[in-house]
Amino acid sequence: MDVSRYLDLFLDESREHLQILNMGLLNLEKDPNRLDVLNELFRAAHTLKGMSATMGYNLISQLTHRMESLLEKIKTKHLLMNQEIINVLFQCVDILEKMLLMIEEGKIPQLNLKDLLEKLNQFEQGVVINTKRPITQEVEKIPEEKGEFDEYEINVISEAISQGFNVWKIVIRVSEDCLMKGVRAFMVFRNLENLGEVIKSIPSVRDIEDEKFE
């Protein structure tokens, strides 16, 4: 079957799906728990996989297959979405864009995807990959004294550990003479949310906003 006559259609539709992937990942950075966005990402990766396989672009099909498998595990709550996974998925989209450009220029996509595919596989298997610099504030492993957490929080922590995620207790001290103490503390909280899931905050987010803390 001669599929060359479908090339323009393939490129146009592929770009549309890449746009969906880009926008979806940006939305997940704001709220990683949006199931509607996860479903959109999954469908886009699935469609790209099928189209590229039909056109004979095996590298694109291989990469989108790994993306689809990872998104399926997150969608079915076998894995938790976090910023590290989002970063790697953005890398996948960048690579897909490069391969589409190669095709548009009449070239056969030939890129080394070994490291990227390995990252996707490790995430799918629940292995945590550090893609950011370590947090510089005082950090220690989760405390043994479970009195700090209620039953629900303990269950969330246990589930995260069972899936291979690291769980941390982070202690942040704001200088007594700090101006706009509440704003600075709230910015720290938001930055931590971008790094992972905040299970508990002492003081609460509301108290931080109202500067009801020492």
Tokens matching residue 205: 């987010």
The span from the CA of 46 to the CA of 93, in Å, is 14
The span from the CA of 84 to the CA of 87, in Å, is 5
Q: Does 140 score more than 50 pLDDT?
A: no
Tokens matching residue 140: 């220690």
Q: What is the pLDDT of residue 178?
A: 62
Q: In 3D, which of 213, 139, 134 has the Cα closest to residue 178? A: 213
Least confident range from 10-19, 122-131, 157-166, 170-179: namely: 122-131
The span from the CA of 121 to the CA of 15, in Å, is 25
Q: What is the pLDDT of residue 130?
A: 41
Identity of the residue numbered 167: V
Region 4-124: CATH code? 1.20.120.160
Q: What is the pLDDT of residue 104?
A: 92
The span from the CA of 16 to the CA of 36, in Å, is 18
Share of residues in the chain with pLDDT > 90 (%): 38
Q: Within the chain, how many helices (H) and strands (E) appear?
A: 8, 2
Q: What is the pLDDT of residue 209?
A: 67
Query: pLDDT confidence of 128, banded at 50, 70, 90?
Result: very low
pTM of the model: 0.59
Q: In 3D, which of 161, 89, 165, 74 has the Cα closest to residue 124? A: 74
* Residue that has been written with the tokens 């709550």 in this structure: 77
More confidently predicted of 73 and 148? 73
Q: In 3D, which of 114, 178, 55, 22 has the Cα closest to residue 187? A: 178
* Residue that has been written with the tokens 């995430």 in this structure: 123
What residue ranges do the domains of the chain occupy? 4-124, 138-209
Q: What is the pLDDT of residues 61-114, one digit of tens each?
A: 999 999 999 999 898 888 888 888 999 999 999 999 999 999 999 998 889 999
Q: Does 129 score more than 50 pLDDT?
A: no
Give 13-20's long-range contacts (Cβ < 8 A, gap of 24+).
13/47, 13/51, 14/48, 14/51, 14/52, 14/96, 14/100, 15/100, 17/44, 17/45, 17/47, 17/48, 18/44, 18/48, 18/93, 18/96, 18/97, 18/100, 20/44
Least confident range from 51-55, 128-132, 134-138: namely: 134-138
Query: pLDDT confidence of 3, banded at 50, 70, 90?
Result: low
Does a cis peptide bond (omega within 30 degrees of 0) precede residue 203? yes
DSSP 34: -
Q: What is the pLDDT of residue 177?
A: 65
| Residue 121 vs residues 68, 99, 187, 196, 209: alpha-carbon distances, Å | 11, 21, 33, 20, 40
Share of residues in the chain with pLDDT > 70 (%): 80
Q: What is the pLDDT of residue 81?
A: 87
